[in-house]
């Protein structure tokens, strides 16, 4: 046999807007589908896809259109590429598969998904339309202009029909006599499309095969834009899931998406289904996606082995549809869960109105956010940026400028003090403050004037403060550092020290803020009002990076126009989403919810620790918790992987701490479910060799 598969085939999309063999003969165009991004979907999924159209005139003879299509398909196969025919009346199928078979040298197997059997001959057809005949013709029976197209007939034993629910006895008899397997719609309903398709796929064996999908196989309530709709049919989601990745299969030599009739698709739903089908059939599987990320991306992350594709509330779903309880919330960024309707609505509405303007102009959303943020937190002013690291940089710049302009520190001498074990982001300056060797390694030199003191030790801070100290930057609870809660009174003592020495107390509440620990700000647990606060993560509603530096006029007043800025900082889209996020935070009372659910979380983790000596500490506040494990007994990374296998997403830090920060909107029963899984997993691990999987 000639070369029929290429390792990297081009998918040649061929649009044919012919309904010449149909009950209502007319011609149209499929170009609008391409304008809506048909072949782009295939390319986004890693297939080399090109678009072409076979123009059809109203006075064209069907036979001539069929010949042109058969030629086009044969030419594509001869280049070891794959045709994807978008029609057009299903009679066109008589050409596609003949052309493909001719170029291959033998007929491919064919999975025919259709409400109809299309197995009439002129003798049996009530209408006499070619429309009802292509499958019979491909099997060598019936109308000469269809049957006689050059190319081998299909082999009935390698033809499977799925979803038929409207046909005549003559068709059933013909297919039964020939030995074609038919799975009627009732069977598909009972077993599910994926199961039936998988069986058909198995029957195709290792030889070349293809799919001819008549869109009327789908429930017309979802895809009405077809020539002959029939009530009932396959649900779109089921079809998309069942066909997922089909076009990427090595021996899938062609695909037809037929009967798309834009004239009947008034709401555009059918076009959307066709585009979703383009995406589904070309979708790479999880292993491929991981290979791409590992092969095309920088190696600066080592993700847990799961490829997430969808989120809903506190639950995430992988590409295979398995669900996982989110006990991480993207490091608190998705505190409001995934797909919160209020936030999605704000995003969509604002994205449609105005997204980005830069700060060269006022916009009508940012002022609302600034007012809201300052009223909520009690600071005079807010400076919006995008990521947390930018907000920390903003704080450091503000502190230095304040030291020179207000405190009177000699220019170039200002010092910033941070804590051992801190995490404030990844810029050069910020990692210059870090005590973590890996975060610093290879990135020196760092700016001068950066110092560190042990976390939780107010006396150490007192000893480190000099007349040149501008600010003390501190997390109220260290997150990345291992959910480290400082001793009671620490923050208050630091605040008093800073006040006494004229040093700014800057709280990095990027992770702990906005209700995460059971109060709006974690500093409030100690009644501390820092001189400045940094917010991020949840401020973007889990949809966009939105962060802010907040301070009173005495500090923020050091910035003049041009001193500092960011193109995207404070854009209207970010501001609208952040406003909605603050609405949700307040209206759903999420800080209080975190306090209540956090009690359950910590209580149950403590109980688990009592039963499991491998857990050496349980720490946290609100829905922000961590367990520290004895590395001699349990490897935290392996534990995170074992938890993943049980459907809970967590993340280790520093090899010994597993952190848990579920969305603040998590339902109590889901939280308890996750805790049950954690309990099982840890207990399962007891006594096992730590590095064994």
Ligand X SMILES: Cc1ncc(COP(=O)(O)O)c(C=O)c1O
Query: Which residues are catalytically annotated?
Result: 423, 508, 537
SS (H, E, C) 162-211: EEECCCCHHHHHHHHHHCCEEEEHHHHHHHCHHHHHHHHHHHCCCCCEEE
What is the sign, positive or negative, of the torsion defined by CA atoms of 568, 570, 572, 573? positive
Residue 88 vs 479, nearer CB to ligand X:
479
Backbone angles phi, psi at 186, to 5 degrees: -60, -40
Give me the residues paired with residue 109 across strands.
Answer: 209
- The set of residues, in sequence order, having a beta carbon less than 8 Å from that of 179 and lying 6+ positions away, is 156, 157
| Least distance from ligand X to the Cβ atom of residue 331, Å | 5
Tokens of 587: 């209206």
Crossing angle of the two packed helices 62-78 and 93-104, in degrees rounded to 10: 30
Binding site for ligand X (CB under 6 A): 331, 387-389, 392, 423-425, 475, 479-480, 508, 510-511, 536
Residue 536 vs 674, nearer CB to ligand X:
536
| Least distance from ligand X to the Cβ atom of residue 389, Å | 3
| Least distance from ligand X to the Cβ atom of residue 478, Å | 8
| Least distance from ligand X to the Cβ atom of residue 321, Å | 30
Residue 119 vs 396, nearer CB to ligand X:
396
| Least distance from ligand X to the Cβ atom of residue 552, Å | 21
| Least distance from ligand X to the Cβ atom of residue 425, Å | 4
Residue of 209, 54, 74 lying closest to 149 (CA atoms)? 74
**Of all residues in this chain, which one has the CB nearest to ligand X in the complex?**
388
Give the DSSP letter string of 501-519.
Answer: HT-EEEEE-TTTTTTTTSS
Measure the CA–CA gap between 414 and 393, rounded to whole angstroms. Answer: 15
Q: Are strands 381-385 and 547-551 parallel, antiparallel or unpaired?
A: antiparallel
Q: Give the SS3 label for residue 85.
A: strand
Residue 337 vs 425, nearer CB to ligand X:
425
| Least distance from ligand X to the Cβ atom of residue 131, Å | 58
Residue 16 vs 373, nearer CB to ligand X:
373
HSE-CB at 404 with a 13 A cutoff on CA atoms is 12
Residue 62 vs 477, nearer CB to ligand X:
477
Give me the residues paired with residue 212 across strands.
Answer: 112, 256
Measure the CA–CA gap between 117 and 124, rounded to whole angstroms. Answer: 13
Give the DSSP letter string of 42-67.
Answer: HHHTT-EEEEEE----TT--HHHHHH
Residue 108 vs 536, nearer CB to ligand X:
536
Whether residue 88 has a cis bond before it, omega within 30° of 0: yes
Give the DSSP letter string of 391-426.
Answer: HHHHHHHHHHHHIIIII-PPTT--EEEEETT----S
Residue 73 vs 505, nearer CB to ligand X:
505
Tokens of 632: 């001699």
Residue of 458, 46, 57, 463 lying closest to 245 (CA atoms)? 46
Question: How many angstroms separate the Cα of 538 from the Cα of each of 179, 329, 382, 576, 660?
Answer: 60, 9, 16, 14, 16
Residue 311 vs 513, nearer CB to ligand X:
513
| Least distance from ligand X to the Cβ atom of residue 480, Å | 6
Residue 528 vs 615, nearer CB to ligand X:
528
| Least distance from ligand X to the Cβ atom of residue 354, Å | 24
Residue in the block written with tokens 């290979």: 291
| Least distance from ligand X to the Cβ atom of residue 339, Å | 21
Complete edge-to-edge strand list for the sheet that includes strand 450-453: 381-385, 547-551, 532-535, 504-508, 469-474, 415-419, 450-453
Give the DSSP letter string of 471-490.
Answer: EEEE-SSBSTTTSBPPPTTH
Burial class from Cβ neighbours inside 10 Å (0-12, 13-18, 19+) for residue 141 reads: buried
Residue in the block written with tokens 């030790």: 457
- The set of residues, in sequence order, having a beta carbon less than 8 Å from that of 67 and lying 6+ positions away, is 95, 149
HSE-CB at 465 with a 13 A cutoff on CA atoms is 21
Residue 197 vs 549, nearer CB to ligand X:
549
| Least distance from ligand X to the Cβ atom of residue 636, Å | 18
């Amino acid at each position: 046999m000639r070369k029929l598969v290429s390792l990297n085939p081009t998918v040649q999309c061929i649009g044919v807007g012919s309904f010449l063999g149909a009950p209502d003969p007319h011609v149209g165009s499929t170009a609008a589908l391409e304008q809506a991004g048909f072949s782009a979907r295939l390319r986004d999924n890693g297939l080399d896809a090109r678009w072409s159209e076979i123009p059809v005139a109203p006075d064209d003879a069907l036979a001539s259109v069929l010949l042109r299509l058969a030629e086009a398909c044969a030419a594509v196969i001869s280049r070891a590429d794959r045709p994807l025919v978008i029609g057009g009346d299903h009679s066109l199928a008589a050409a596609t598969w003949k052309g493909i078979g001719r170029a291959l040298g033998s007929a491919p197997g064919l999975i025919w998904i259709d409400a109809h059997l299309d197995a009439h001959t002129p003798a049996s057809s009530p209408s006499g339309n070619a429309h009802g005949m292509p499958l019979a013709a491909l099997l060598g029976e019936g109308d000469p202009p269809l049957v006689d197209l050059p190319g081998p007939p299909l082999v009935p034993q390698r033809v499977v029909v799925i979803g038929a629910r409207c046909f005549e006895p003559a068709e059933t008899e013909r297919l039964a006599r020939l030995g074609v397997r038919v799975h009627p719609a009732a069977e598909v309903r009972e077993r599910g499309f994926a199961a039936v398709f998988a069986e058909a796929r198995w029957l195709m064996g290792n030889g070349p095969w293809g799919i001819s999908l008549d869109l009327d196989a789908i429930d017309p309530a979802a895809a009405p834009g077809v020539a002959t709709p029939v009530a009932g049919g396959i649900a779109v989601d089921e079809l998309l899931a069942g066909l997922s990745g089909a076009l990427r299969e090595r021996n899938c030599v062609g695909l037809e998406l037929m009967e798309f009739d834009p004239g009947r698709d008034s709401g555009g739903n059918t076009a959307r289904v066709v585009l979703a089908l383009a995406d589904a059939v070309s979708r790479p599987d999880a292993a491929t996606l991981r290979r791409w990320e590992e092969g095309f991306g920088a190696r600066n992350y080592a993700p847990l082995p799961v490829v997430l594709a969808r989120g809903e509330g506190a639950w995430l779903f992988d590409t295979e549809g398995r669900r996982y309880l989110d006990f991480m919330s993207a490091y608190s960024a998705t505190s409001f869960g995934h797909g919160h309707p209020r936030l999605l609505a704000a995003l969509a509405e604002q994205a449609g109105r105005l997204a980005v303007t830069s700060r060269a102009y006022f916009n009508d959303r940012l002022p609302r956010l600034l007012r809201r943020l300052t009223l909520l937190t009690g600071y005079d002013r807010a400076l919006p940026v995008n990521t947390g690291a930018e907000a920390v940089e903003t704080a450091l710049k503000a502190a230095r400028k304040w030291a020179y302009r207000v405190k009177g520190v000699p220019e170039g001498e200002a010092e910033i003090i941070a804590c051992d074990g801190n995490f404030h982001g990844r810029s050069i300056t910020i990692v210059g403050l870090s005590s973590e060797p890996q975060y610093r390694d290879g990135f020196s030199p760092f700016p001068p004037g950066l110092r560190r003191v042990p976390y939780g030790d107010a006396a150490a801070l007192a000893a480190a403060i000099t007349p040149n100290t501008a600010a003390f930057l501190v997390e109220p609870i260290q997150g990345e550092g291992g959910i480290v809660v400082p001793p009671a009174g620490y923050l208050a003592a630091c605040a008093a020290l800073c006040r006494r020495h004229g040093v700014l107390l800057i709280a990095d509440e990027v992770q702990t803020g906005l209700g995460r620990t059971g109060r709006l700000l974690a500093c409030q647990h100690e009644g501390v009002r820092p001189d400045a606060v940094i917010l991020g993560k949840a401020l973007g509603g889990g949809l966009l990076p939105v962060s802010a530096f907040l301070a009173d006029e005495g500090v923020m007043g050091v910035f003049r126009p041009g001193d500092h800025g960011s193109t995207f900082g404070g854009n209207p889209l970010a501001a609208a989403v952040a406003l909605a996020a603050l609405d949700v935070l307040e209206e759903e009372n999420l800080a209080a919810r975190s306090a209540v659910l956090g009690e359950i979380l910590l209580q149950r983790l403590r109980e688990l620790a009592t039963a499991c000596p491998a857990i050496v500490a349980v720490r946290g506040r609100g829905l922000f918790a961590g367990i520290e494990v004895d590395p001699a007994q349990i490897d935290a990374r392996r534990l995170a992987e074992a938890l993943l296998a049980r459907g809970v997403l967590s993340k280790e830090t520093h090899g010994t701490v597993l952190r848990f920060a579920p969305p603040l909107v998590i339902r109590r029963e889901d939280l308890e479910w996750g805790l049950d899984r954690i309990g099982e997993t840890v207990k399962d691990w007891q006594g096992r060799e730590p590095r064994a999987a």
